[in-house]
Amino acid sequence: MELNAGRAPGAFADFASVNRDMSAAEAKAFGTAFLESIITACKEAPPETLTAMKTMLNTVSEPEPPVQRPALTDIESKALIFIQDRLSRDESPSVRDLRGILSFKSSRSSLLVINKLIEKGYLRRSHVGRLFLAT
C-alpha cells in the first residue's frame, strides 16, 4: 500500500497552525510518519485484528437522543428562570429570595420546588449543595 501524502496538502498546514511549535513542513513529516506507522502496524496485524478494526471503522454510531425532561408547571418554570438568572450572574439563589419571587409564605415550599426541578433533571447539586443547571 502506497502512502499518498499529497492527497490533502491543506490538512498538514491546518495541523501546523494548531501546533504553533511546528512548521507546515514538520507537520507534514510528522503526519506522514504517523500514517506510515499505522500502515506498517496494519500489515503486521493478524487477520482477525484487521477484521475487528474494519468493523469498528465501518460502524456508524447513532447520535445520542436529546434528553427528554418532564414538562414544568408554571411555578417550576418561574423558579427555573429565576435560578438561571442568578446562576448566570455567579450568584447563589437563596430559598428565601425564591420564596418571595413565587409569593410563597413558607421557605419550605420553595425548597420543594427546587427539589422537584432536581428530580425532573433541570438542576443538580454539587457535593457541597450548590445548585447548577443540568446539562
| Residue 64 host element (H or E) | none
pTM across the whole model: 0.52
| Residue 11 host element (H or E) | helix 9-18
CATH ID of 74-133, from 3.40.30.10, 3.40.50.620, 1.10.10.10, 3.40.1280.10:
1.10.10.10
- Quote the CA–CA distance of 22 and 5 in Å, as a whole number: 17
pLDDT tens digits along 16-70: 445 556 677 777 777 778 778 777 777 777 878 777 777 766 666 667 777 788 9
Q: Under DSSP, is residue 131 helix (H, G, I), strand (E, B) or coil? A: strand
pLDDT tens digits along 105-130: 999 999 999 999 999 999 999 888 88
- Quote the CA–CA distance of 102 and 123 in Å, as a whole number: 18
Domain locations in the chain as residue ranges:
7-58, 74-133
- The torsion angle over the Cα atoms of residues 43, 47, 49 and 52, rounded to 10 degrees, is 120
Residues in the chain: 135
Q: Residue 20: its pLDDT value, please?
A: 57
